[in-house]
Amino acid sequence: MNPGTDLGEFLRARRALVAPDRDGGPRRRVPGLRREEVAALAGVSADYYTRLEQGRHKRPSESVLDALARALQLDETATRHLFDLARAVAAPQRAAPPEAQRVRPSLHRLLESFTAHPAFVRGRRTEVLAMNPLAAFLLADLPARPARERSLIRWAFLDPEARTRYVDWEKVASSMVGTLRLDAGRHPHDPLLAQLVGELSVHSEQFRTWWADHRVVERRDGIKRLDHPLVGRLDICYEALDVTGAADQTLFVYTTEPGSESEARLRTLAAWVHEESPAPPSSPAAAPERPGADPAGR
């Protein structure tokens, strides 16, 4: 990845998303704002802004970046990404082998203590650094896989199981692309990230499309709808918490609505994982029925 190119592509992609104030004017062939319109809104010359998009200006000031963020209607996450990209252009670094991320033992113990709730720690490149058994059973045991296969986004795009596990696969997968974009802005010289982007680009047209639009996403809470082969549909609430003292590590904890069918089904999975009931059946049809539950698990 090239920081100068990334900054220019980000600016072009984001101005294409801003609807111009036409005031009844003629329909445009190209969506979004023109370069000169962004320049005027940001209070800079059209030539200056053009040089930014073309990667010919290396040190935009913070005030210019703030003005561009307003002109392009960037939210807080996208604004932070803009500053990351500009910082990488102003202070280029040589690519170096990234240090392996480690989860401290106390955090491993915390994960293991969540016997009723799936939990895992995500690091750079959406890599799953640690996972409790219930999360591994609910999703996939990614930490047990070879190092290059441990990222959530790789699993989501290249493992057919993920497409059936996520009810809203496109929403989840596109969000992961936005998260990876944020990571690329913070670590533009990470060779492992470049390899991951290259692999996904080769094997997935959807990834290439979403990667090209330069949208960035940072999820802190929300709902994921899952379809587990043993218990069926689960509506999962998640919280994402930064791990104190560990850069680029996020703790995810999954919960369910109290008294819901999802809570009952997650409790069933937890019982199987922790051997509180017989080993899990090999197919949904073999799963024990619960009073009032749909045998299909829907």
Could you report the per-residue pLDDT of 17-45, keeping only the tens digit for each? 998 865 444 456 667 899 999 999 999 99
Residue 184 belongs to some domain of the structure: yes
204 and 156 inside one domain: yes
Query: Would you state the pLDDT for residue 282?
Result: 46
Residue 60 belongs to some domain of the structure: yes
Q: Which of 12-21, 75-84, 198-207, 283-292 has the lowest mean pLDDT?
A: 283-292
125: left (phi over 0), alpha (psi -120 to 50) or beta: left
16 and 164 inside one domain: no
Residue 96 belongs to some domain of the structure: no
13 and 60 inside one domain: yes
Burial of 143 (0-12, 13-18, 19+ CB in 10 A): middle
**pLDDT of 75-115, one tens digit each?**
999 999 999 999 887 666 665 667 889 999 999 999 999 99
CA atoms within 13 A on the CB side of 264: 13
| Domain end (from 65, 90, 115) | 90
With a CB cutoff of 8 Å and minimum separation 6, the contacts of 10 are: 81, 82, 85, 214
Strands in 109-267 per DSSP E: 119-122, 128-131, 221-228, 232-242, 250-255
Q: Global pTM? A: 0.84
Domain holding 17, by residue range, is 3-90
18 and 42 inside one domain: yes
| Domain end (from 67, 90, 113) | 90
> What share of the chain has pLDDT > 90, as a percent?
75
265 touches 288 (CB < 8 A): no
Location of structure tokens 């995500």: 122
Residue 40 belongs to some domain of the structure: yes
232 touches 284 (CB < 8 A): yes
End-to-end CA distance of the chain: 44
pLDDT band at 278 (very low <50, low <70, confident <90, very high): very low
**CATH (domain of 33):** 1.10.260.40
**CATH (domain of 219):** 3.30.450.180
231 and 124 inside one domain: yes
Both tokens of 183, joined, read 């990571």
- Name the 3-class secondary structure at 130: strand
155 and 190 inside one domain: yes
189 and 64 inside one domain: no
Number of domains in the chain: 2
Alpha-carbon span 218 to 212, nearest angstrom = 18
248 and 109 inside one domain: yes
